[in-house]
Amino acid sequence: MKQTYHQLPFKKVLEQLHTSSTGLKSAEIDKRLDQYGPNVLSEQKGSTLLQKFFSQFKDLMIIILIIAAVIAFFAGDASDAIIIFLVVILNAAFGVFQEAKAENAINALKEMTTPSSHVRRDGQVQTIKSSELVPGDIVLLEAGDIIPADLRLIKTASLKIEEAALTGESVPVDKNEESLEESDLSLGDRKNLAYMNTNVTYGTGEGVITATGMDTEVGHIAAMLNSVHKSITPLQKNIIHLSKILSVLVLIIAVLVFVIGILADRASVLEMLLTSISLAVAAIPEGLPAIVTITLALGTQTMAKRNALIRKLPAVETLGTTEIIASDKTGTLTQNKMTVEKIYVPDKLQEAENADFGPNDHLTQIMVLANDSQKTAEGLVGDPTETALVQYYLNKKTAVEELHNSFSRITALPFDSTRKLMSAVVEHNQKKYVMTKGAIDELLKRTTKIEDHGNIRKITEKDRTKILEVNHELALQALRVLGFAYSPLKTISSSPSSENLEKELIFVGMIGMIDPERPEAHAAVAEARAAGIRPLMITGDHKDTATAIAKRLGILKKDTKDAVITGSELDNLSTKDLNKTITQYSVFARVAPEHKVRIVKAWQNRGKIVAMTGDGVNDAPALKTADIGVGMGITGTEVSKNASDIVLADDNFATIIVAVKEGRKVFANIQKAIQYLLSANLGEVLTLFFMTMLGWDIFAPAQILWINLVTDTFPAIALGIEHAEATIMQRKPRGNRSNFFSDGVMSSILYQGILEGGLTLGVYWFALQYPFHHSYALIHADALTMAFATLGLIQLFHAFNSKSLHGSIFRKGLFNNKMFNWSILISGILLFATILLPAFNDTFKVTPLAPQQWLAVFIGGVLMLIIVEIVKFIQRKLLYK
């Protein structure tokens, strides 16, 4: 029957779906969820743990290594073969762990960013996850919503839906609930249906769900796809490309080692083959893509805990490059609630928080009683200006309810834009009063007296001048000013009006109010500036209000005059002129959403990475154009959230800065892991290469693989979750031309890899020059064991060096990463167990070492730490001031 829903009257559709306009009953929901399943599009099935495990053996180098190990086993070298198999299996297990960890983190992220819908169930409007919708649910629609399932519309009010993604129709379609006669209509002509994943651009409506998940029109398209392409982030692409380049280089070196070893008769063909393959396997950083994914995914979870929900993984890294943050004012930089800030009574202007007015003061009475706001269980409801007046007294613990009880309202004159006043007539102790609030200039026209320190006297021109001066002073501070006056009434006309009520008033005072900046916003702006990020304010507010708030936040300097531009002024600038002058402006006032795209593009044309906030349907183009689109989780529409890379759960500017800091941390941690892995692998390659060239004994395959396994895997993952360095937000943004090898990372990899290899070879040479034994075989066995231990220990020490690219390891927080501490401890135990435990000596072809030999090993390891510290000290003094 699904294909005829557009032909049936909506009441008939409700009957067929066994529902009603009040929604489904709660008892019916679970049954339908079991029957139809969750409202999601099917994705490619994830592989099982066993499949993940076997997929680790698809790598060509691993396959060759296994074949070589099998040959070694049948050739009689069982110990080497067993160790190789063990290492390969452990390596596969770690690969599964990394992959599963990344998938779990990404799935948790998807769960956090699941869209929600407004539905009517049991006659009550509820907000639920869209994945929990079922056929028969009544969905409420408004501008900015994304249609969560296929719907038959049952009520519309100027409803327009953009269906380009499904039908190709670029213009939003007018929708209605009327049934259609023709059966064979295209999707775009079915005006009474709405389809999953299309966008409401205007109006409101209600619809009953006719299909969910894969049964929807979008689901049919998804089902036609033979496979789902699993996208990878640009970061992962770069890492994979890097791994391929390194693989080629390592294979060349491995071939050289094999050829030289055979020609120089270092070992048998089989032993040299195993050694060369083991070197290639150990030196290729095949774990880098997984480490990048884990680091990115865990970064998103950290941000989510701080109210920044990342919708797209690459956004995490891009955050670290952000140079411009263009933010809405209301609700993001400010609290989105009017607050009384200044109070003036004749000849006395004071801060509202310091003022002391009680229930017996006329100012208090007018502010509370000439007021239509209502107190509910959820808080104050009403006009933001009026709720602010009442909230001011509630914060001061004033008995507002007692005031309402002792003054009964008789009638009221609502505010209108012509007279700019609002009045309430109240009665207290059998006396009647008119209490009026509104614009100062209009209020003074109706004022004849003034209350001065409790005394009522005739208002003078001097009084009027002073009041207007204070009004102007408050207006310059972008405060909204209201005046308050009252008058006793002898009689009340049967037809109350402004003419017979709002006259001969007694002026008592005025207040200045504003939507104040968020308490944390000023510090966040300062932190952004210190980090080399330029914050911009974009608002629909008047120029004066925007300027005042921008100055209070530090976005504008106090003496700034020409750094503010309005939307109308933007319209008068050509694209070329705007590109030239965009750097002059930090505040954009009275702008429409369409101006945002021009602002973003102008900054991008200057080569800047731009983050842009938005919450409306019309903000979607700007959010997509920006390098980082930031949607509002509270006030934002579903369309704006869907167009965003990040959604702020608290609509707070400070959260953007937190996300930028986390983005920088994630990039820095990936850099640290890359520097650590590649320098360690380079050290291993150089050590084995020069051992071969110098005619020394070379590491056994088991030794190479074991060092790579225990010193690479754990520390590299742990470096990915390092805490942010204290100075991370004191550095300039990386910009869009940076990469993982920027900021001296490549040179560090080279010199540190050479240093690792040099120290290892140095300890080997030392062991040969100052032997502990007299037997030639034992001398060389000890030297190889010492080199094995030194190379492993150097890498563990070097992991501490890698905790900061240029900072000293002796700074605060050296041991604040518990996972890192455990990884070093476990790696150290696994490394030295091969030497210290006799049961492993033969297996790993090592010998027990004497205390003097251990001392040489530890000196080699500590020298790595000391030399790198010295180099970083010189870099900080000369290059990174």
CA distances from 800 to 673, 747, 807, 868 (A): 11, 18, 11, 10
591 vs 735, residue with greater confidence = 591
- Residue 835: is its pLDDT beyond 70? yes
Q: At residue 230, does pLDDT exceed 50?
A: no
Distance CA 221, CA 216 (A): 9
Instruction: Tell me the CATH architecture of domain 2-39+133-224.
Output: Distorted Sandwich (2.70)
Task: Report the pLDDT averaged over residues 295-322.
Answer: 79
Query: Of 147 and 243, which is predicted with more confidence?
Result: 147
With a CB cutoff of 8 Å and minimum separation 6, the contacts of 817 are: 718, 721, 722, 723, 803
What is the pLDDT at residue 296? 76
How high does pLDDT run on average in the chain? Answer: 83
CATH architecture of 339-514: 3-Layer(aba) Sandwich (3.40)
Q: What is the pLDDT of residue 60?
A: 56
pLDDT score, position 448:
95
pLDDT at 112: 46
pTM above 0.75, yes or no: no
Tell me the CA distances in angstroms from 456 to 439, 450, 488, 501, 810, one per residue in order.
Answer: 21, 6, 12, 19, 72
φ, ψ of residue 629 in degrees (nearest 5): -90, 130
CA distances 767 to 208, 525, 785, 831, 857, Å, are 82, 59, 10, 20, 10
Domain-wise residue ranges, the chain: 2-39+133-224, 246-301+660-878, 308-334+518-651, 339-514
- The pLDDT of residue 209: 92
Active site residue 265: no
Tell me the per-residue pLDDT of 136-157, one tens digit each, with 9 for 90 and over: 999 999 887 888 899 999 999 8
User: Is residue 569 pLDDT above 70, yes or no?
Assistant: yes
pLDDT of residue 234: 55
pLDDT tops 70 at residue 59: no
- The confidence band for 240, taking pLDDT boundaries of 50, 70 and 90, is low
Read off the pLDDT band of 829 (50, 70, 90): very high
Q: Is the pLDDT at 644 greater than 60, yes or no?
A: yes
Nearest to 234 by CA among 293, 297, 309, 303: 293
More confident: 811 or 433: 433
Q: Is 858 exposed, middle or buried (0-12, 13-18, 19+ CB in 10 A)?
A: middle
Q: Which of 104-108, 135-139, 248-252, 369-373 has the lowest mean pLDDT?
A: 104-108
For residue 188, pLDDT over 70 is answered with: yes
Give tens-digit pLDDT for 190-219: 899 999 888 887 788 999 999 998 888 878
**Residue located via tokens 């100052």:** 770
DSSP string, 481-545: EEEEEEEEES---SS--HHHHS-SEEEEEEEEEE-PBPTTHHHHHHHHHHTT-EEEEE-SS-HHH
State the pLDDT confidence band at 582, using cuts at 50, 70 and 90.
Answer: very high
How high is the pLDDT of residue 438? 93
Residue 168 has pLDDT above 80, yes or no: no
Q: Which H helix or E strand runs over 706?
A: helix 701-719
Q: Give the model's pLDDT for residue 552.
A: 87
Quick one: average pLDDT of 267-293?
71
What per-residue confidence (pLDDT) applies to 81?
63
**Statement: residue 522 has pLDDT above 60:** yes
SS3 450: strand
* Mean pLDDT value of segment 482-500: 88
C-alpha to C-alpha distance for 704 and 710, rounded to whole angstroms: 10
Residue 368 CA: distances (Å) to CA of 339, 443, 456, 504, 526: 14, 18, 21, 21, 38
What number is the average pLDDT over the span 422-446? 93
pLDDT at 269 exceeding the cut of 80: no
pLDDT average, residue stretch 217-235: 57
Q: Do 598 and 578 form a contact (C-beta atoms < 8 A)?
A: yes
Is residue 100 very low, low, confident or very high in pLDDT (cuts 50, 70, 90)?
low
Instruction: Retrieve residue 174's tokens.
Output: 């007018």
Residue 45 has pLDDT above 90, yes or no: no
Q: Is the pLDDT of residue 42 over 50?
A: yes
123 in the Ramachandran plot: left (φ > 0), alpha (ψ -120 to 50) or beta? left
Angle at 689 between CA 684 and CA 692, to 5 degrees: 130
Mean pLDDT of 155-179: 79
Local structure of 708: helix, strand or coil = helix
User: 77, 328, 619, 712: which one is catalytic?
Assistant: 328
pLDDT by residue (tens digit) across 342-358? 999 998 999 999 888 88
Query: How far apart are the C-alpha atoms of 733 and 608, rounded to whole Å?
Result: 10
Q: Which of 12-21, 109-118, 794-803 has the lowest mean pLDDT?
A: 109-118
User: For 873-881, what is the mean pLDDT?
Assistant: 76
Report the CATH architecture of 308-334+518-651. 3-Layer(aba) Sandwich (3.40)
pLDDT (0 to 100) of residue 229: 42
Fold of 246-301+660-878: Calcium-transporting ATPase, transmembrane domain (1.20.1110)
More confident site: 183 or 29: 29
- Indicate whether 313 pLDDT > 90: no
pLDDT at 444: 95
For residues 610 and 139, what is the distance between their CA atoms, to the nearest angstrom? 36
Q: Which residue has the higher pLDDT, 316 or 83?
A: 316
Residue 109's pLDDT is what? 44
pLDDT digits 0-9 by tens, 366-389: 999 999 888 877 778 788 889 999
Q: Is the predicted pLDDT of residue 823 greater than 80, yes or no?
A: yes
User: How many other CB atoms sit within 10 Å of the CB of residue 638?
Assistant: 22
> How much of the chain exceeds pLDDT 70, in percent?
84
